[in-house]
Structure 1
Amino acid sequence: MANQFSSVWTREPRRPRTSGLRRDQIVRAAVAILDKEGLDALSMRRLGAELDAGATSLYWHVANKTELLELALDEIWGLVDDLALDRTDSLRQLLTTFAYNLRAALLDHPWSATLIGRVPAIGPQAFRLSERLRRAFADAGFQGLDIYLASGTITSFVLGQVIPVIAMENSHGGRVDRDSVLRTLDKAAADYPEMRADYRSLMPEDPGSGHAMGFDFGLLCVLDGLEARRRAQQTAPPQPATGESATPPGTGR
């Protein structure tokens, strides 16, 4: 039997007790701990100490750490600036703004990227952003399921670019030294001299610049692909309704 899906967002938030903590206070304190000390440092006990509050005050609003992380993750989706998206003049500009905004939010709060897929992202900020993308794709001419597939594609691209960078830095305690990478490649990739030479001659000295270059290149490719898909969908002949023959009448087939 499959596990039941549940979320902190499926119930109404409780009103704070008299002189008690509000849920938004708890979430802000949790995000501050996550930003400063990382995911492993956050616990209900650690949060209670930060807020000078007992466990009862915390559990009045959240049942466990997983629910707390759901609330914290939704704050990150909220960092993608609505006003910046509204100032764009085309779908391409909007998606470019969205991609760079989301990338910046994840890199500024690296713990959040490790939660994608681990906790539900169905909070109000996540839905607000999803709806903004849905309207943008629909207004640009995308239809049906393509609207949601296209939205998922641009979001998945950002995550696919950012998560490996964060994972690498987490595993090495910060940015990786390029010279140490070259020394490792010289040994591990001894049978591939052309690739090693390309890496030395083509990759920027600063790893951060290399990651940014890769993001720029990939985003342009994704946007070009989505634009081609949009054009193809707009010029495609209408599909027959369910139950109708897809063969033009009079063909004898």
Structure 2
Amino acid sequence: MAARTEPNPIPSVWARQRREPDQPSLSRDAIVREAIAVLDADGIEALSMRKLGARLNAGATSLYRHVATKDELMELAVDEVAAEIRVPPAGSPDWRAAAAETAHAFRATALRHPWLSTVMGQAGLAYLGPNLMALNERLAALFVETGFPDPEGAISALLAYVIGMSTTEAAWLTTVARSGQTEAEFVARLLPAAQQAAAEHSNLAASYASTADPARQREAKFDYGLDVVLDGLAQRLPR
């Protein structure tokens, strides 16, 4: 009698039983680590199961024993780097400082892995991964302990801001990296054209007045928007 199969399996790597490695040097963890190295260096377009197999000296068939599709591989990669995001423990005396620390940790992780923010909403059911679930659990504990009437809404608002800003920032830094110049050099080269375009708009002209420390300027913009989000969340707390 043929074995029964589930008619509509959940399309996620987290819903499948993990297989044992078919060779000592090849494991799912090794595959994910190598995939992240490719993603960090060359972006999503450069990642393929065939190329990954070649880098690991393994055939595509061996990889498919551990990861069925590229979508599953992206789920695993997203969850792996999510472990780098630190959330202060619940009961922190200053919820704003704890939320800001989390936001900065997320931003730093997203800038180390420029592909992360763009695939957060596309990597299948990545939120089922243990690291992302732990991240959300710690954030929920923080906002519940603080007394937010809608902790999930607070989490969504905070993460939507961070992911949105990080996506734009990571795309900008990728463009800079491809130019072969430092960020300051790249901005200095663009500055004359930007100043000319903004010359008739006094409110914009001030934004292009200097190339001094563009990294600090990016962080200042992030902090400003983060303060606005946290100010809004604070209004939701019971008085």
For the residues of structure 2 that align with 1:141 and 1:22, how far apart are their CA atoms?
Answer: 43
Q: Give the letter for the 2:120 counterpart.
A: I
Matching of residue 125 in structure 1 with residue 134 in structure 2: no
Matching of residue 114 in structure 1 with residue 110 in structure 2: no
1:86 Cα offset (Å): 6.1
1:182 Cα offset (Å): 2.5
| Residue correspondence of structure 1 range 211-250 to structure 2 within 5 A | 211-230=218-237, 234-235=238-239
Q: Which runs of no fewer than 5 residues in structure 1 stay unpaired?
A: 236-253
- Do the aligned partners of 2:118 and 2:167 also contact (CA within 8 Å) in 1? yes
Q: Give the letter for the 2:206 counterpart.
A: D
1:167 Cα offset (Å): 1.4
| Residue correspondence of structure 1 range 83-122 to structure 2 within 5 A | 84-85=88-89, 88-120=92-124, 121-122=126-127
Matching of residue 162 in structure 1 with residue 170 in structure 2: no
Residues 22-53 of structure 1: CA distance to partner in whole angstroms, max 9, x if unpaired? Answer: 21111111112222232222111111111111
Counterpart selection for 1:138 from 128, 133, 144: 144
Matching of residue 150 in structure 1 with residue 129 in structure 2: no
1:85 Cα offset (Å): 4.3
Q: Which runs of no fewer than 5 residues in structure 2 stay unpaired?
A: 1-8
1:190 Cα offset (Å): 4.1
Counterpart selection for 2:203 from 180, 195, 209: 195
- Do the aligned partners of 1:178 and 1:205 also contact (CA within 8 Å) in 2? no
For the residues of structure 2 that align with 1:49 and 1:41, how far apart are their CA atoms?
Answer: 13
Give the TM-score of the pair, scaled to structure 2: 0.84
For the residues of structure 2 that align with 1:41 and 1:22, how far apart are their CA atoms?
Answer: 21
Counterpart selection for 1:65 from 70, 81, 84: 70
1:187 Cα offset (Å): 3.6
Aligned length: 224
1:170 Cα offset (Å): 2.6
Instruction: Indicate the structure whose relative CO is greater, using CA pairs within 8 Å and at least 6 residues apart.
Output: 2
1:19 Cα offset (Å): 3.5
For the residues of structure 2 that align with 1:9 and 1:223, how far apart are their CA atoms?
Answer: 33
1:106 Cα offset (Å): 0.6
For the residues of structure 1 that align with 2:65 and 2:211, how far apart are their CA atoms?
Answer: 51
- Do the aligned partners of 1:178 and 1:206 also contact (CA within 8 Å) in 2? no
1:87 Cα offset (Å): 8.9
Give the TM-score of the pair, scaled to structure 1: 0.80
Alignment match, 1:251: none
| Aligned-residue RMSD, C-alpha | 2.3
- Do the aligned partners of 1:77 and 1:126 also contact (CA within 8 Å) in 2? yes
**Percent sequence identity over matched residues?**
38
Alignment match, 1:54: 59
Matching of residue 15 in structure 1 with residue 20 in structure 2: yes
Q: Give the letter for the 1:33 counterpart.
A: V
Q: Give the letter for the 2:165 counterpart.
A: Q
Counterpart selection for 2:191 from 179, 182, 186: 182
Q: Give the letter for the 2:46 counterpart.
A: A
Q: Give the letter for the 1:139 counterpart.
A: E
Deviates more, 1:129-138 or 1:18-27: 18-27
Residues 29-85 of structure 1: CA distance to partner in whole angstroms, max 9, x if unpaired? Answer: 111222223222211111111111111210001112111111001112111125x54
